[in-house]
Structure 1
Amino acid sequence: MELLAVQLKQDTHCTVRDLARHYSVSTRTISRDLALMREQGMQIDADRGRGGGVRLDRNWGVGRVNLDYSEAVDLLISIAVAEQMNSPLFLANLGSVRRQLVASFSPEKRASVNRLKSRILIGVTASTYVQASAKAPPKRVVQALHQAFVDREVLDVRYQREDGATSERQIEPHYLLLKYPIWYVVAFDHLRQEPRTFRCDRLLAAQKTGTRFHLLSKEAFQPSLSHDDLSV
């Protein structure tokens, strides 16, 4: 389909019959390919009436971006978060971007991404009191938490409570919760032997342990999600 996309972008007028003849396939095959390209977010324009042509919007595909799988997953999940927040700005083309990303994955990888998306929860906006104390966590902490969340791996963390006291813990990052702009990790805390919710910006250090955990259902964490400020 990439060759077809290039030709449609270059030719000012090209009919389905011309394309079928050029590629030695049936018009039905070309029509099916055009439909699939539209599903992937390509802007295919068509002239009505007999002899009408089809073309690809010349603005499509400007600056091809090469993403590896992990980068594409992060982008797709970020799009899903933005869509769930129902912001009216800058969302017009996110559906098209998402369809193109999804189309680039194998069925197995699509299922994996959907499982990751189901583990990201969107809550109400954080209170002004909570927002006032927000700060950016260290990059190395974010990277360790991100990988442990994806791999379902236990983390050794150092956590600072609201009163400034710190503690060393082992946690299982089962879910991530966004109460904009604050991210929380919804985890099973080995220290307390119960589900707890931690503010990500209060994680002072984090290191993967290499130990995997089995995912628990959201229902198991409902008590820890019931607190308004979600501070521990």
Structure 2
Amino acid sequence: MPSTSDAARLRRLDLLSSRLKADEPMAIGALAAEFGVSRRTLTRDIALLRERGLPVDADRGRGGGVRVTSTWGVGRLTLDYREAVDLLVSLAVAEQTRSPILMANLAPIRRKLMASFSAANRGRINQLKARLLIGGQASAAVMSNYRAPRTRVVEALHEAFLTMRVAQITYSDGAGSKTERHIEPQYLLLNYPVWYVLAYDPGRQAVRTFRCDRLLAVQPLDDHFKLRAVDDFRIGLEGADIIVP
């Protein structure tokens, strides 16, 4: 297993590769500041990307602009684990909406993404579409206090959801009270643009619903859970200001 510093550098190299593919040249100093490293470290990173076959052009003179040569094609796309998870969830949402414009090329993309996961996880991924529920538009009352969920929280939630692992969460309710608990993120429900987690709470032995924008922290744990019937959660939502399909 790579060390923390090695893992951080690998992620930085992936991000740097993406930034260099922009149309305009970027100054070495600005890129170094963006990634929180020295100019010398960034120069070594660029040299390593060149060794890997990425054709990086450098503009001479003050500022040292760099970019990928304009004749370079897209080629192979590299995603880290969480990026692949987020993209799979996004594809499943697109499939659930059954848009004729989007449906044409989703299947081969999904198959390629699935190939990057272990055999143990592929069975869970195959259940993904059935675990995503697309409801109606969020009500005005819900939207009055809605704000976009935190990116890192969403990434961790997607990971726990996709791999069917128990998650430790910190949640803030409508009154602002914070609680910590362990949940099984069984289903995700979209009342556009608001996402909900339909979960089973083993500690309380009951189904619970959590608004994703009120999740303050999510940590996937090692324990896996089994999928429960979606009707258990529909019953739990009766009378709530939530629209289920």
- TM-score tier (shorter): 0.5 to 0.7
Question: Does 1:66 pair with 2:74?
Answer: no
Instruction: Pick closer, same or farther for the CA change 1:155–1:73 going to 2, 3 Å.
Output: closer
Deviation, 1:158, is 1.4
Would you say how many aligned residue pairs link Structure 1 and Structure 2? 164
Say whether the 8 Å CA contact 1:135–1:201 is kept in structure 2: yes
Q: What is the aligned partner in structure 2 of residue 193 from structure 1?
A: 205
Question: Does 1:225 pair with 2:215?
Answer: no
**Aligned partner of residue 82 in structure 1, secondary structure:** helix
**Aligned partner of residue 157 in structure 1, secondary structure:** strand
User: Equivalent of 2:217, from 198, 205, 211?
Assistant: 205
Higher alpha-carbon deviation: 182-191 or 171-180: 182-191
Deviation, 1:209, is 2.4
Give the TM-score taking structure 1 as reference length.
0.61
Q: Distance in 2 between matches of 1:175 and 1:134?
A: 20
Say whether the 8 Å CA contact 2:166–2:224 is kept in structure 1: yes
1:52-63 correspondence to structure 2 within 5 Å: 63=74
Give the aligned residue type for 1:168.
Answer: E
Deviation, 1:141, is 1.6
Task: Give per-residue Cα distances to partners, 1:63-91, cap 9 Å, x unaligned.
Answer: 4452548545643542342353466xxx6
Q: Distance in 2 between matches of 1:96 and 1:65?
A: 21
1:165-204 correspondence to structure 2 within 5 Å: 165-204=177-216
Q: What is the aligned partner in structure 2 of residue 58 from structure 1?
A: none
Larger Rg: 1
| Runs of 4+ displaced beyond 6 Å | none
Q: Distance in 1 between matches of 2:171 and 2:89?
A: 26
Q: What is the aligned partner in structure 2 of residue 164 from structure 1?
A: 176
Q: What is the aligned partner in structure 2 of residue 126 from structure 1?
A: 138
1:1-232 correspondence to structure 2 within 5 Å: 63-64=74-75, 66-68=77-79, 71=83, 74-85=86-97, 92=101, 94-102=102-110, 104=112, 112-230=124-242
Instruction: Pick closer, same or farther for the CA change 1:192–1:73 going to 2, 3 Å.
Output: closer
Instruction: Pick closer, same or farther for the CA change 1:99–1:213 going to 2, 3 Å.
Output: closer
Give the aligned residue type for 1:153.
Answer: R
**Aligned partner of residue 229 in structure 1, secondary structure:** coil
Say whether the 8 Å CA contact 1:73–1:113 is kept in structure 2: no
Give the aligned residue type for 1:96.
Answer: A
In structure 1, runs of 5+ residues without a counterpart are 1-61
**Aligned partner of residue 128 in structure 2, secondary structure:** helix
Q: Distance in 1 between matches of 2:138 and 2:186?
A: 21
Q: Distance in 2 between matches of 1:126 and 1:64?
A: 40
Say whether the 8 Å CA contact 1:188–1:196 is kept in structure 2: yes
Give the TM-score taking structure 2 as reference length.
0.58
